[in-house]
Structure 1
């Protein structure tokens, strides 16, 4: 194992086993390198790598701390990597969404309250009778975010949000090129919300699957 990878693994082990907790300050570089049996250079590289992943927080003139380790912060690195993907990998993002979002819809059905459902209905109604492609896509992004948030699992919500951004251009292109795509999107959103309103988690799961699978199928067939 390369020495930098070894250093990363040893610091990770300290965090996983509770020797270092969120908010803790790491020992001085000289002391930690002796404690872990590592060179100061390899330790320094490991700290730099873990800071890029938002696991560690390097504060100039103060020291290095373990980050809060909340899911949204840790998944920022994933969002960055997803954003770098080429357009031909957008299909993979939709395929992952097709796994995660039906589950989120089912969870949200059990947890969502009247105020949140009313807010979602207001969001859908705000489109009016003749929305533009940009308006439907913006509404779509917000709709999916709110359902993921209502599921009550912050990591699930962060994952779904991170996969949503790279698919925006595909959603806009579908709205422009596929006849009836906008109307279908709005209707499927309504069906998902109706299922959630009636407390039918499996229907909400099924409608969300239909909704995302439709985009995935179009993407597979689109030139």
Structure 2
């Protein structure tokens, strides 16, 4: 039972959920039975939040089927309506463990993200006060791009494209704890080099000597659900 709990996206603001398919598979009941329970108790389930769903198109069939997304409280409530068989009891335990693990990981990422904010602010202040970048309108974007290439071995555009990061959201909200640490390290280094009066080419050369801090992977998030 390794795939019970998922995240709505890969940002630090993501929510956790399980699906009607996962409940059916690991509780040992049919999808039809789970969907009937959800429809029967839909009002009760919505007392614990929205009840999103996604459409899954089956190969060779014209009519897509609905897969429900349930948050922790909704899933817990729904399970109380199931027969308490040995398989259902094992499923309940696994579901609790995986919700805990996923939420702990999100908490660690949120703490890491908040802790790195002052580093970004410090870099911005160093750029503003740097004589080497005085009057350069592209100073921040150029150095920001250098940060991701040097810290993670990829461009900001690659990260945005593969992780579906909106232009209105900060890339740092979509990084793992290790990626956040690597980015913060490079930002601190650049701020220090700016304070020493180095220009872009010299900063790039200095950072290039140490190599990439952490090779990130291009994670692709799951499709967004629709409310229903």
The verdict on a shared fold, with TM-score over 0.5 as the criterion, is no
Larger radius of gyration: 2
Instruction: Please identify which structure carries the higher strand content.
Output: 2
Instruction: Please identify which structure carries the higher helix content.
Output: 1
